[in-house]
Structure 1
């Protein structure tokens, strides 16, 4: 699988990354099969977070990938903390919490360093300079190779881009959510990569779309509207289904380093990987998809 450079770092990530949030205890032995299949198929970027499964996710990923630690790029995220009843979480980007949470992540992941540590959110009202100081200290201490943020807010992204050494911004990005595109030229100029999460929009950009309730919504899109658009798209896609087209569309953007998709079965993962056996999207196909799924912009978090 082809790899792309993450920002100006020396990390080269597989074009398809694996979003570990899709792993869960109820999947049983399928979890290990999924991760091993991802490795066999050339995926080297694995993304988790301390929030997932109350830490179970990091523990499982760390245990399963420990034997190949030197061969993979391991990413995790911090900044949230569960409340005492564990029925919700609080946002805490303080230096004290970031550094404490990071130590806990290291233990769960059974490693002594993280390739990419990401702030799991963020707003313009945060003590951002303090947060940046925490990440810089983790780098200088040798525990973090590089850091980034996971945010969709333009004002927050621009502050970090101009006041820190972030290498990446993780953003929800797909044909159904093209709002991040307005920032792509800016991020490219800053030599900061995009890590695209949700590239198949929770299955709305897959053949599963026709099994979904047309009354449901994805962002501002109704289920019935998405189904109609996917049906139209199928008529212009040659050797690709909508999943392949959705992933290729995201990766057609040079600023995107990796499309990080989850999978709850080996079959689903292999279907995603088939994307790279298909011909690239043509200019005409991209133009048609742009028309079918028009871009919007963020209305808030701008000033």
Structure 2
């Protein structure tokens, strides 16, 4: 497995990470046995970074990962997001970044995961009512106490990144980055590189939209993509046209659309680690194949011609969620 370091102060991780959210939440029903088998397969392939959130399935995801890792904790670096507030029906209510909430959240995560420390701990979003310095200061206390090894951020803008980094070294920023979500290139990515902060990129296949497998069939019950602007009406038609243009490039290279999209993110810098949301072994195997795809300058030009920056139709989240993103301000 190829490895990359998360920033100048973070750990060395596999060049691909495994995002476990879909095994518990937001993408409709999942198969427990297949989820566990996928985690097993990821570890066997050399993936050592697993990303979760305490609000994925309201603790279900952490317990699933804890079960999968029993007896082999030392093989894995756990990245955990905290702070998202949800009601019993699953609706998102906002974010809580108060120091006492941070320390309570980590206590529950440690118990559900069955571990004595978390490798990278990060607020899922910025709490607009709590200065980022207070939230990161609380996580820094957890680092001193040995409950957390490294501090990360998620979906915050350049100014917030700088303020957080002034409190404690930041290993990485987790943020959406793909061929059709390139907003970080303007200010956020340069700020991270200036400060020595790595990027863990989620949504590299835009939630399956540019995987090459998406069709116009309606998402299943409980799948949040049913409300995502990029999966709606004419937006979906336009975005699938981009996918077909990418397919031509991928086929010319003898690889899949998903592999060309993942390889493109890998090629954008050794400080970027794509986090793949595979919840089936076949999708994981396909993603791992991207590590063998070496893109030439001509390939990169062809890919970016097929899917130009800003060409995607629709925002990456619904308007209410976009309003919560410090990274979009």
* TM-aligned CA deviation for residue 83 of structure 1: 3.6
Tell me the SS of whatever aligns to 1:67.
Answer: coil
Cα deviations across residues 37-59 of structure 1 (Å, max 9, x unaligned)?
Answer: 11111111000110000101101
For the 8 Å contact 2:137–2:167, the answer to whether it is kept is no
Which residue of structure 1 lines up, in the alignment, with residue 318 of structure 2? none
Which residue of structure 1 lines up, in the alignment, with residue 245 of structure 2? 232
User: Does the alignment pair 1:188 with 2:203?
Assistant: no
Which residue of structure 1 lines up, in the alignment, with residue 2 of structure 2? 2
Q: 1:124 to 1:287 in 2, by over 3 A?
A: farther
- The TM-score normalised by the length of structure 2 is 0.83
Which residue of structure 2 lines up, in the alignment, with residue 113 of structure 1? 117
Cα deviations across residues 74-131 of structure 1 (Å, max 9, x unaligned)?
Answer: 1111112334665443311000000001000000000000111111111565322211
CA distance in 1 between counterparts of 2:214 and 2:90 reads 32
Which residue of structure 1 lines up, in the alignment, with residue 13 of structure 2? 13
Q: 1:245 to 1:212 in 2, by over 3 A?
A: farther
User: Does the alignment pair 1:55 with 2:70?
Assistant: no
Listed as ranges, the gaps of 5+ residues in structure 1 are: none
Tell me the SS of whatever aligns to 2:295.
Answer: coil
Aligned length: 301
Question: In terms of mean alpha carbon deviation, does 40-49 or 145-154 score higher?
Answer: 145-154
Which residue of structure 1 lines up, in the alignment, with residue 223 of structure 2? none
Q: C-alpha root-mean-square deviation of aligned residues, in Å?
A: 2.6
CA distance in 1 between counterparts of 2:9 and 2:168 reads 14
- The TM-score normalised by the length of structure 1 is 0.90
For the 8 Å contact 1:192–1:255, the answer to whether it is kept is no
Listed as ranges, the gaps of 5+ residues in structure 2 are: 219-225, 316-321
User: Does the alignment pair 1:289 with 2:303?
Assistant: yes
For the 8 Å contact 1:17–1:261, the answer to whether it is kept is yes
- Within-5 A mapping of 1:152-231: 152-182=156-186, 183-212=188-217, 217-218=229-230, 222-231=235-244
Which residue among 252, 262, 267 is the counterpart of 2:277?
262
Tell me the SS of whatever aligns to 1:112.
Answer: coil
Tell me the SS of whatever aligns to 1:75.
Answer: strand
Which residue of structure 1 lines up, in the alignment, with residue 102 of structure 2? 98
Tell me the SS of whatever aligns to 2:40.
Answer: helix
